[in-house]
């Protein structure tokens, strides 16, 4: 029996994504074969596709950072799952596929009442947002936060979770996305036509407590300027590298060079890097606890992932183009199999 998956044939643009067929995999001992219902096309996948994300295989391989699916077959020694159960996982790679074999220890059960397309939004974007807010920044009620890319996947998750935490929220985005930010409880800032540093100073007088910056490079300096004393800058991406053809690796490198320099400025402000994969390896129990909590919040309808569109897996290249053009607000879900 064959199955379909999308692979990266080489690093490059969306044209390197190819839909291929292979023989269906068999789970090894301790693994579960999952029939994937949905995955998410994300900016992280684009960084992986472009060769700007460390620690992933060399091409050819299948991207796909997170999945939700149905337990299809159990490997030897797996007794804590049953056929037909719905599960979710952070895969890093391999999710752009109809099937995947994954260690049973990586799977978390999905509540019956939860929509699969909404559940798959949680392992990367919502866990990232939750951990940056509570594990890294340790936010307190009434603190002010600035969210760059506030209409994106992590941005909308930060807004929803920030509202639950009682935070004052500001978010940068293009003008067309301001209504979404306002509806989620944030004060929008038009980064294309406003100096966000000056706008924050005007709105708050002394700055914000936490900044979440997925852009990186020199953008971190301006983010740092928006903070009040005791502020925390959380850097978690290098999307600035995608905006240029030359010097992409230089932008990524400058991000990691700037952060330790900002750390030594004696002004009681902090600048740190966050990576979900690294924190998951360091504190695996945190990831399981945080994702389980988020699944319960979803079941209770306290969070509501913003889904821009649900596309068939074969349209993955179009999904990447839409992301690169910032043409959508929220998540692009790739449907891999019918439920």
> Looking at 260, 277, 294, which one is the last position of a domain?
277
| 316/272 same-domain check | no
Domain assignment present for residue 282? The answer is no
Residues facing 87 on adjacent strands: 69, 109
The total of structural domains in the chain comes to: 2
- What is the distance in angstroms between the CA of the first residue and the CA of the last residue of the chain? 19
Rounded mean pLDDT, 242-249: 61
Pair 117, 133 in one domain: no
The SS3 assignment for 158 reads: helix
Looking at residue 246, what is its pLDDT?
56
Examine the domain organization and report whether 28 and 93 are in the same domain: yes
User: Is 80 exceeded by the pLDDT of residue 194?
Assistant: yes
The backbone region for 77, taken as left when phi is positive above 0, alpha when psi lies in -120 to 50, beta otherwise, is: left
**What average pLDDT does range 262-268 have in this prediction?**
84
Confidence check: pLDDT of 307 > 90? yes
In a domain, 297, yes or no: no
Question: Side-chain half-sphere of 279: how many Cα atoms within 13 Å?
Answer: 21
- Confidence (pLDDT) at 338: 86
Indicate the average pLDDT of the chain: 94
pLDDT of residue 238: 80
Domain CATH code at residue 144: 3.40.50.720
pLDDT band at 244 (very low <50, low <70, confident <90, very high): low
Contact present, 307 and 153 (Cβ < 8 Å): no
Residue 115: predicted pLDDT: 96
Domain with 157 in it: 124-277
Q: Which of 134, 169, 126 has its CA nearest to residue 150?
A: 169
pLDDT at 240 over 70: no
pLDDT of residue 247 exceeding 60? no
**Which residue from 97, 47, 101 is spatially nearest to 74, judged by alpha carbons?**
101
* E strands in the chain: 2-8, 17-23, 31-41, 66-74, 86-90, 99-103, 108-109, 144-147, 168-173, 186-190, 208-213, 227-235, 270-273, 307-312, 331-335
Higher pLDDT, 257 or 211: 211
Q: Answer yes or no: is 294 within a domain.
A: no
Same domain, 181 and 152: yes
- Are 17 and 100 in a shared domain? yes
């Amino acid at each position: 029996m064959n199955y379909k998956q999308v692979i990266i044939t080489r690093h490059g643009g969306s044209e390197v994504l190819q839909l291929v067929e292979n023989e269906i995999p068999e789970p090894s001992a301790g693994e579960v074969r999952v029939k994937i219902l949905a995955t998410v096309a994300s900016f992280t996948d684009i960084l992986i596709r472009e060769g700007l994300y460390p620690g992933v295989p060399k091409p050819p391989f299948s991207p796909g950072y997170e999945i939700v699916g149905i337990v299809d077959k159990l490997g030897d020694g797996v007794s804590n799952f049953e056929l037909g159960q719905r599960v979710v996982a952070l895969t890093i790679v391999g999710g752009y596929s109809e099937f995947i074999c994954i260690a049973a220890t990586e799977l978390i059960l999905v509540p019956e009442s939860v929509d699969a397309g909404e559940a798959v939004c949680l392992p990367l974007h919502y866990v990232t947002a939750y951990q940056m807010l509570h594990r890294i920044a340790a936010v307190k009620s009434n603190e002010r936060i600035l969210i760059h890319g506030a209409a994106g996947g992590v941005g909308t998750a930060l807004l929803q979770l920030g509202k639950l935490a009682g935070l004052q929220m500001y978010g940068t985005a293009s003008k067309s996305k301001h209504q979404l930010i306002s509806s989620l409880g944030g004060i929008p800032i038009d980064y294309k036509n406003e100096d966000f540093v000056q706008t924050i100073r005007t709105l708050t007088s002394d700055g914000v407590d936490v900044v979440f910056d997925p852009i990186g490079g020199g953008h971190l300096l301006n983010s740092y300027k928006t903070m009040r004393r005791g502020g925390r800058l959380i850097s978690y991406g290098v999307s600035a590298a995608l905006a240029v053809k030359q010097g992409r690796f230089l932008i990524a490198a400058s991000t990691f060079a700037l952060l330790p320099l900002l750390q030594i400025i004696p002004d009681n402000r902090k600048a740190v890097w966050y990576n979900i994969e690294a924190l998951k390896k360091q504190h695996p129990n945190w990831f399981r606890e945080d994702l389980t909590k988020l699944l319960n919040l979803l079941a209770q309808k306290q969070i509501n992932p913003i889904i821009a569109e649900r596309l068939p897996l074969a349209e993955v290249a179009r999904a990447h183009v839409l992301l690169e053009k910032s043409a959508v607000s929220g998540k692009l879900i790739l449907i891999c199999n019918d439920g």
